[in-house]
């Protein structure tokens, strides 16, 4: 492990973690507010990326940054208004089920319109290439851009929630929707806005993530499970917990993927040679990079055993 | 659909009759549908019934929404296939008819292991945990190719035993009857479970988990035990699947599989015991027939699912039962016009939508064949605006008429429900 | 603060005892050091202004909440910090202010669920419910006691409000617990329903220790052997109804004119 590897992985891990947070913050907000865990959240991420892919061919990337999340907002708000609201009275399980159905629907619609293979959603010229070089390895502009947008977005949301009137109403409706409604605020409209807003956040993440990473139908599935892990690990309903968990998981994954050590190589350092005949060889030969995909889920299981409330959770999910 | 909550038991007909019919159906099905395609479908349906019923122990009876149930069926498949290979090599002989039990024990074992952590929480958190554990197992499948067979999976030969009375289980028909046998036994066992103390307390946990604590039961324990039992039966289904297809790949523990279990069990109906049986049938039909008809089959299924959650959360089983209830009061015939109009208008709308969907897919995939395609006997031109307008027109007309018919139907339905309520009160006073 | 009337400080085991019980939610202390001793077979009514902490006390006793400090003793055994099902198995059962039954099960099934654990059936899945004669018999008895035998197979969600409250009581006493906590059992009932219900409560809790939170003074003075008055998380008086009625502090803090009304027989 050298300094170059460490720095680059740290930066990459942070940018990935911030992207995860952008996704899981929307999810946490929707859950805190409405008690519904939006199974289709990662699908909004995918839709955002695809819409940006198409619009950037017409109006360019920088305008798509605004337009695509807006369109996703409309889709999310419409869904809340016409579908989610209808099952609200049935309880939390049907709410989860309907967002589950939406995830299928969005996936199929995306495949219908854009096809089943990955699309070539490219970076704009402004974001191509390295931002700076660290010890010989490049840190891409696009990744830095992700970090920038994530931080800007999060600060704006924090300001919105704590400094504006609508933000106060949202905060109040987070825990006492009936009281807020009794005070004359249109709580259903607030719900619609929050759901749409959460979706838009996910869509924005898709706009900037889709051309840095890959834009394909499977992108929803791969990141979807991880953000649920983030939310549970961070503590259901805790934004700061989601932040911590996102960064942790982003860093762990980025570091792990690049490390080729295994228990076998570790034992070799102590002059203990492992051969295919050794007991437990299949386990010992696994490199950290091979284990990387399961690390978030392993983390989930461990948290549930040792700290079921999550890292910073307060409410019992 | 609306309050008050309805329950309708037609069991006056005689439970024995229903079970005999079920057994007869299982036995006679291959004789009624003789093609090899039918036999394939029946075999698949057979073990899917077991898996879907096991899933409903969690969903319908326990109120536990799991996104990772395929793990237990899948691990059952894997252990079964390994057991079959060991038996074929002579290392450890288990006769084929007992292999599903190996699957069952495997499902049981992993449910005991993973279920403890999974059932620590309830509700939405539980659902997320099952998702995470499911992804964990699926991701592990690439790490241990010795067990999971890597990309190609593990293959086997089910006819490894010496034939007994000429039965080697090579031919599909013999496998079908093995599956049918287990299907009947497992259905009966799972039904019996609903009539035991644990089964009933599980229902209580679903209805009011907090109250259950106050009548002396540890809710977490109840859920854990139910989880284990569900895992056991899922494993049996998985074992039968392994026997049927003679190959098991890591896909069987994937989130996609779990999702389809949820989707179709819910569609069949989670609130009645027989709902998942319908769901398993629909799953087979969709996977084998519908996917042949259209690339967009999952889109249609997704739409139907969405509508079901919104308007008929009890699934098809609840729709059947509601109509049976109306029929028992002799009022079903009043609705047939309504049903017919609903069906026709829905069909019209569907045709319009399907035409558009097919045109899109045609453009995407078969563009090399030219712009024309055949759709229900009509030649459509995917690049010609007329085809699109035509399809759009059909769709909108269908939707509009459907909406009108639906409102009319709802009013009529409401009236009938009122009449039934009055009749019930009248009978109570007698 | 508490007054223990006419009992010498013996080492008698009380059916239910609270020792300096405290509960804080965050920085707010809701229960501020309550002491209570209830003898076996006594009927105690817990009254007090809204927000005084009566339901919280019940929640602390029955294990729904954990006390911040202090002790709860059931027949001399400490139960504070135990889980609700552990407490229930030791012989304490409670009902809820907001009806808490099993909506999709029938009346009979509701009651049968209530008896299963106490008859030792636990998590068994090897026996059919239909064969459990003692459980079925007991459920039938309970149904007759709460006068819902005509509604045996009706789903709980379809019962009238008063019937649901009766079912609630039924489930509470089903397990044969000796200490019964009833949280505002007559909430939301009309005059006639209330008096009928009180008679029902008296019948089904014969010989048991009963604690009930009540607002209806007429009910309280007719049902209780002792009254505990809770104000701001403390018991300021604990005595026979007459003594409490005459107590200056209680009159100041709470009863006011309702005492005079109750004496006059109205409300």
pLDDT tens, residue by residue, A129-179: 787 776 777 788 888 888 888 889 888 888 887 788 777 777 777 667 778
* Nearest chain B Cα distance for residue A108, angstroms: 5
**What is the pLDDT at residue A31?**
84
Cβ contact (<8 Å) for B200 and C113? yes
Whether residues B352 and B264 share a domain: the answer is: no
* Nearest chain B Cα distance for residue C85, angstroms: 4
Nearest CA to B67 out of A25, A23, A97 is that of A97
Number of continuous H segments (helices) and E segments (strands) in chain B: 17, 4
pLDDT tens for each residue of B400-426: 888 888 888 888 888 888 888 888 888
Kindly tell me if the per-residue pLDDT of B122 is higher than 90. no
Q: Which two tokens stand for residue B213?
A: 């604590």
Q: What is the DSSP letter of B141?
A: T
Number of continuous H segments (helices) and E segments (strands) in chain A: 15, 2
Is B324 domain-assigned? no
Check if B124 contacts A (Cβ < 8 Å).
yes
pLDDT tens for each residue of B127-170: 988 998 999 999 888 888 888 888 888 898 888 878 888 788 88
- In this complex, whether C and A touch, counting 3 or more CB pairs under 8 angstroms, is no
In chain C, which residues have their Cβ closer than 8 Å to the Cβ of B222?
Answer: 123
Q: Which two tokens stand for residue A9?
A: 């992985």
**A36, A42, A45, A47 alpha-carbon torsion, rounded to 10°:** -90
Q: What is the CATH number of domain C1-90+211-267?
A: 3.40.50.300
Whether residues B236 and B376 share a domain: the answer is: no
Q: Is A307 left (phi over 0), alpha (psi -120 to 50) or beta?
A: beta
Q: Does domain C92-176 have CATH number 1.10.760.10?
A: no
pLDDT tens for each residue of B372-388: 777 777 777 777 788 78
Q: What chains are in contact with C, requiring at least 3 Cβ pairs below 8 Å?
A: B
Whether residues B64 and B16 share a domain: the answer is: yes
pLDDT tens for each residue of A61-77: 888 889 999 999 999 99
**What is the pLDDT at residue A127?**
76
**What is the pLDDT at residue C11?**
47
* Nearest chain C Cα distance for residue B272, angstroms: 12
Kindly tell me if the per-residue pLDDT of B1 is higher than 80. no
Kindly tell me if the per-residue pLDDT of C6 is higher than 50. no
Check if B197 contacts C (Cβ < 8 Å).
yes
Whether residues B196 and B337 share a domain: the answer is: no
Whether residues B237 and B294 share a domain: the answer is: yes
Which of B66, B122, B129 is the mutation pick for testing A, counting most A CBs within 10 A? B129
Check if B135 contacts A (Cβ < 8 Å).
yes
Residue B170: other Cβ atoms inside 10 A: 12
pLDDT tens for each residue of C150-184: 888 888 988 988 889 989 999 998 988 899 999 88
Q: How far apart are CA A19 and CA B173, in angstroms?
A: 53
Q: What is the pTM of this model?
A: 0.88
Q: Is B8 left (phi over 0), alpha (psi -120 to 50) or beta?
A: beta
Please tell me the total count of domains within chain B: 2
Check if B324 contacts A (Cβ < 8 Å).
no
Partnered with residue A85 across adjacent β-strands are none
How, if at all, do strands C179-183 and C209-213 pair?
parallel
In chain C, which residues have their Cβ closer than 8 Å to the Cβ of B218?
Answer: 83, 85
Sequence-distant (≥ 6) Cβ neighbours of residue C198 within 8 angstroms: C186, C219, C222, C223
* Nearest chain A Cα distance for residue B59, angstroms: 10
- What sign does the CA torsion over B98, B104, B108, B113 have? positive
Candidates B207, B211, B221; nearest CB to C104: B207
pLDDT tens for each residue of A251-306: 998 888 888 777 777 777 777 777 777 777 777 777 888 888 888 988 888 887 78
Domain hosting residue B371, numbered range: 329-429
Give the sheet arrangement for strand C28-38, strand by strand. Answer: C28-38, C16-25, C69-74, C77-78
pLDDT tens for each residue of C183-211: 888 888 888 888 888 888 888 888 899 99
Is B287 domain-assigned? yes
Q: How far apart are CA C85 and CA C180, in angstroms?
A: 14
Q: Which two tokens stand for residue A93?
A: 């399980």
Whether residues B341 and B306 share a domain: the answer is: no
**What is the pLDDT at residue C8?**
46
**A23, A29, A34, A37 alpha-carbon torsion, rounded to 10°:** 30
Quote the percentage of chain B above a pLDDT of 90: 42
In chain B, which residues have their Cβ closer than 8 Å to the Cβ of C128?
Answer: 192, 195-196
Q: How far apart are CA A74 and CA A69, in angstroms?
A: 9
**What is the pLDDT at residue C222?**
80
Highest average pLDDT, of A272-281, B60-69, B285-294, B393-402, comes from B60-69
Check if B208 contacts C (Cβ < 8 Å).
yes
CB of C187 closer than 8 Å to CB of C197 = no
Kindly tell me if the per-residue pLDDT of A108 is higher than 70. yes
Average pLDDT over every residue of B43-51: 95
Cβ contact (<8 Å) for C129 and B204? no
Q: Which residue of C has its CA nearest to B222?
A: C123
pLDDT tens for each residue of B315-369: 999 999 888 888 888 878 878 888 888 888 888 888 888 888 888 877 777 666 6
Q: Which of B313, B343, B375 is the last residue of a domain?
A: B313
Question: Which comes out higher in pLDDT, residue B77 or C150?
Answer: B77
On the CB side of B171, CA atoms within 13 Å amount to 7
**What is the pLDDT at residue B151?**
81
Cβ contact (<8 Å) for A37 and B132? no
Interface pTM, i.e. ipTM: 0.85
Whether residues B78 and B196 share a domain: the answer is: yes
Ordered by start, the domain boundaries in chain A are: 3-217
Q: Which of B284, B313, B342 is the last residue of a domain?
A: B313
Give me the residue label for tokens 């019209």: B348
The rounded mean pLDDT for chain B is 87
Cβ contact (<8 Å) for B296 and A112? yes
Least reliable range by pLDDT among A242-251, B272-281, C199-208? C199-208
- In this complex, whether B and A touch, counting 3 or more CB pairs under 8 angstroms, is yes
Q: Which two tokens stand for residue A217?
A: 């139908």
Q: Which residues of C sit within 8 Å Cβ distance of B?
A: 62, 83-85, 88-89, 93-94, 96, 100-105, 109, 112-114, 116-118, 121-130, 132, 155, 157-158, 171, 174-175
Check if B229 contacts C (Cβ < 8 Å).
yes
Count of CB pairs separated by less than 8 Å, A with B: 120
Quote the percentage of chain B above a pLDDT of 70: 95
Average pLDDT over every residue of B268-278: 94
**What is the pLDDT at residue C261?**
53
Q: What chains are in contact with B, requiring at least 3 Cβ pairs below 8 Å?
A: A, C
Quote the percentage of chain C above a pLDDT of 70: 90
**What is the pLDDT at residue C1?**
42
Least reliable range by pLDDT among A150-159, C36-45, C70-79? A150-159
Candidates B125, B129, B310; nearest CB to A87: B310
Candidates A94, A109, A305; nearest CB to B117: A305
Candidates B201, B215, B219; nearest CB to C171: B215
Cβ contact (<8 Å) for A298 and B136? yes
Instruction: Find the helix or strand (DSSP H, E) in which B201 lies.
Output: helix B197-207
* Nearest chain B Cα distance for residue A96, angstroms: 8
**What is the pLDDT at residue B367?**
65
* Nearest chain B Cα distance for residue C168, angstroms: 10
Question: Which comes out higher in pLDDT, residue A134 or C259?
Answer: A134
Is B4 domain-assigned? no
**What is the pLDDT at residue C10?**
46
At residue A316 the predicted structure's pLDDT band, cuts being 50, 70 and 90, is very low
Is B320 domain-assigned? no
Kindly tell me if the per-residue pLDDT of B264 is higher than 80. yes
Cβ contact (<8 Å) for C116 and B200? yes
Check if A236 contacts B (Cβ < 8 Å).
yes
Q: Which two tokens stand for residue A190?
A: 């607030």
Average pLDDT over every residue of C128-135: 88
Q: Which residue of C has its CA nearest to B225?
A: C123
């Amino acid at each position: 492990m050298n300094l170059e590897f460490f720095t680059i992985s740290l930066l990459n891990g942070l940018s990935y973690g911030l992207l995860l947070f952008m996704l899981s913050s929307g999810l946490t907000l929707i859950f805190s507010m409405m008690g519904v865990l939006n199974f289709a959240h990662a699908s909004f991420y995918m839709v955002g990326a695809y819409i940006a892919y198409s619009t950037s061919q017409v109006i360019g990337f920088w305008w798509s940054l605004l337009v695509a999340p807006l369109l996703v907002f409309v889709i999310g708000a419409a869904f809340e208004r016409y579908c989610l609201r209808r099952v609200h009275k049935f309880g939390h399980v049907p709410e989860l089920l309907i967002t589950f159905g939406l995830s299928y629907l969005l996936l199929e619609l995306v495949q219908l319109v854009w096809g089943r293979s990955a699309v070539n959603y490219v970076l704009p010229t402004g974001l191509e290439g390295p931002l700076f070089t660290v010890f010989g390895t490049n840190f891409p502009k696009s990744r830095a851009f992700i970090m920038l947008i994530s931080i800007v977005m999060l600060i704006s949301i924090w300001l919105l929630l704590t400094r504006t009137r609508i933000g106060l109403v949202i905060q109040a409706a987070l825990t006492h929707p009936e009281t807020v409604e009794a005070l004359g605020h249109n709580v259903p409209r607030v719900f619609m806005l929050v759901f749409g807003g959460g979706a838009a956040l996910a869509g924005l993440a898709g706009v900037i993530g889709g051309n840095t990473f890959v834009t394909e139908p499977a992108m929803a599935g791969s990141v979807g499970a991880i953000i649920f892990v983030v939310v549970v690990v961070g503590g259901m309903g805790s934004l700061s917990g989601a932040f911590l968990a996102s960064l942790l998981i982003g860093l762990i994954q980025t570091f792990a993927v690049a490390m080729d050590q295994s228990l076998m190589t570790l034992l070799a350092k102590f002059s203990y040679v492992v051969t295919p005949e050794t007991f437990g060889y299949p386990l010992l030969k696994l490199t950290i990079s091979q284990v990387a995909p399961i690390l978030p889920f392993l983390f989930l299981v461990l948290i549930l055993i040792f700290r079921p409330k999550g890292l910073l959770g307060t409410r019992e999910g | 659909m609306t309050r008050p909550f309805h329950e309708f038991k037609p069991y006056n007909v005689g439970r024995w009759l229903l079970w005999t019919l079920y057994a007869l159906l299982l036995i006679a099905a291959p004789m009624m549908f003789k093609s090899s395609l039918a036999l394939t479908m029946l075999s698949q349906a057979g073990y899917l019934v077991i898996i879907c019923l096991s899933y409903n122990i969690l969903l319908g009876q326990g109120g536990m929404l799991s996104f990772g149930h395929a793990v237990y069926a899948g691990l059952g498949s894997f252990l079964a296939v390994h057991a079959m290979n060991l038996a074929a090599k002579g290392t450890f002989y288990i006769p084929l008819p007992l292999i599903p039990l190996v699957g069952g024990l495997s499902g049981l074992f992993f449910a005991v292991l993973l279920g403890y952590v999974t059932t620590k929480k309830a509700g939405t958190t539980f659902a997320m945990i099952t998702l995470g554990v499911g992804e964990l197992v699926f991701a592990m499948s690439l790490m241990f190719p010795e067990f999971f067979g890597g990309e190609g999976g593990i293959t086997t030969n089910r006819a490894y035993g010496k034939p007994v009375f000429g039965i080697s289980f090579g031919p599909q028909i013999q496998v079908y009857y093995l599956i049918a046998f287990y299907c009947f036994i497992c259905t009966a066992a799972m039904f019996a479970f609903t009539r035991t103390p644990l089964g009933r307390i599980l229902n209580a946990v679903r209805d009011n988990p907090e109250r259950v604590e106050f009548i002396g039961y540890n809710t977490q324990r109840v859920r854990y035990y139910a989880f284990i039992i569900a895992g056991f039966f899922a494993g049996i289904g998985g074992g039968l699947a392994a026997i049927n297809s003679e190959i098991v790949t890591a896909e069987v523990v994937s989130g996609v599989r779990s999702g389809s279990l949820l989707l179709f069990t819910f569609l069949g109906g989670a609130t009645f015991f027989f709902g998942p049986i319908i769901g398993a049938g629909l799953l087979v039909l969709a996977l084998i027939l519908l996917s042949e008809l259209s690339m967009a089959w999952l889109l249609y299924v997704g739409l139907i699912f969405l509508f079901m959650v919104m308007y008929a959360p009890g699934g098809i089983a609840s729709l059947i039962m509601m109509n049976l209830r109306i029929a028992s009061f002799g009022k079903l015939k009043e609705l047939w016009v309504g049903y017919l109009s609903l069906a026709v208008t829905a069909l019209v709308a569907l045709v319009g939508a399907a035409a558009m969907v097919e045109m899109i897919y045609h453009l995407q995939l078969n563009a090399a064949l030219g712009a024309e395609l055949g759709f229900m006997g009509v030649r459509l031109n995917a690049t010609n605006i007329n085809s699109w307008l035509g399809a759009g027109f059909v769709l909108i007309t269908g939707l509009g008429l459907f909406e009108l018919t639906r409102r009319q139907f709802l009013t009529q339905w409401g009236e009938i429900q009122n009449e039934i309520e009055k009749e019930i009160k009248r009978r109570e006073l007698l | 603060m508490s007054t223990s009337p006419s009992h010498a400080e013996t080492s008698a085991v009380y059916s239910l005892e609270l020792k300096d019980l405290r509960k804080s939610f965050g920085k707010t202390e809701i229960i501020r050091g309550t002491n209570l001793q209830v003898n076996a077979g006594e009927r105690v009514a817990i009254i007090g202004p809204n927000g005084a902490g009566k339901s919280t006390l019940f929640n602390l006793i029955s294990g729904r909440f954990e006390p911040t400090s202090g002790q709860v003793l059931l027949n001399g055994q400490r139960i504070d910090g135990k889980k609700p099902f552990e407490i229930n198995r030791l012989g304490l059962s409670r009902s809820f202010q907001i009806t808490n039954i099993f909506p999709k099960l029938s009346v009979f099934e509701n009651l049968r669920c209530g008896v299963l654990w106490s008859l030792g059936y636990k998590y068994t899945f090897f026996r059919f419910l239909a064969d459990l004669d003692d459980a079925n018999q007991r459920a039938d008895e309970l149904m007759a006691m709460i006068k819902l035998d005509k509604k045996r197979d009706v789903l709980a969600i379809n019962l009238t409000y008063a019937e649901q409250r009766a079912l609630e009581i039924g489930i509470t006493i089903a397990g044969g617990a000796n200490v019964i906590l009833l949280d505002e059992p007559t909430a939301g009932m009309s005059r006639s329903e209330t008096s009928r219900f009180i008679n029902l409560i008296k019948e089904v809790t014969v010989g048991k220790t009963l604690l009930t939170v009540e607002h209806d003074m007429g009910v309280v003075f007719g049902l209780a052997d002792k009254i505990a008055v809770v104000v701001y998380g403390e018991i300021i008086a604990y005595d026979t109804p007459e003594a409490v009625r005459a107590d200056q502090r209680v009159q100041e803090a709470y009863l006011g004119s309702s005492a005079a009304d109750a004496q006059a027989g109205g409300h």
